[in-house]
Structures are given as C-alpha cells and as structure tokens.
C-alpha cells in the first residue's frame, strides 16, 4: 500500500481535477493505490459509460496525477467495461 503522504497528495490532486469531470455530468471514486504505484478509480455518472472514458483517464487524470505526484505509475479504471476484442464504436 502507498504511504500516507502519497495517498494524501493523490486525493488532493483528484479533488482539484474532479470539477472537470463534474462539468460534463461525470465523477470519480477513489479506490486506492497498490504497491506498484497504480491509482485505482471508478468513473461514475456520464464518465462511467462514455466511450472516451479511457482517454479521459489516461490523457487527463493520469497525466494530472503524475505531475502532482511522480510516484504514481499509472491510473486504472476498476469498473471499466469489458469490450473484449470489439471496440465500442
């Protein structure tokens, strides 16, 4: 598990990013940080079912968190839809 200082930094950064998701009818829930530095989130609202959620996660939230907390290695969506080999569009 991540140390308390890292977790506090991540949570603070997520709170700063949250209004951008809420402006589009979405939100996120913090799940935790694993030993590899991966931040686990659940995207909710409009973000939970949006086909662009992966891009928002990687190009938005992940990049923002890595700037705020360099110990973050990746951001993953715990409730991502499983499309298998098919693309959602």
Question: What are 30-82's pLDDT values in tens digits?
Answer: 999 999 999 999 999 988 888 888 888 899 999 999 999 999 999 999 877 66
The pLDDT confidence band at residue 87, using thresholds 50, 70 and 90, is: very low
Q: Is the pLDDT of residue 83 over 80?
A: no
**Is residue 25 classed as helix, strand or coil in its secondary structure?**
coil
The pLDDT confidence band at residue 3, using thresholds 50, 70 and 90, is: confident
Dihedral, 7, 9, 12, 18 alpha carbons, nearest 10: -80
pTM to 2 decimal places: 0.83
């Amino acid at each position: 598990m991540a140390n308390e200082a890292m977790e506090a930094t991540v949570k603070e950064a997520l709170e700063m990013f949250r209004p951008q998701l809420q402006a589009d009818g979405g939100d996120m829930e913090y799940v935790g940080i694993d030993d590899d530095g991966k931040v686990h989130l659940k995207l909710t609202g409009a973000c939970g079912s949006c086909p662009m959620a992966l891009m928002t996660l990687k190009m938005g939230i992940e990049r923002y968190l890595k700037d705020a907390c360099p110990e973050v290695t990746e951001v993953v969506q715990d409730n991502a839809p499983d499309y298998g080999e098919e693309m959602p569009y």
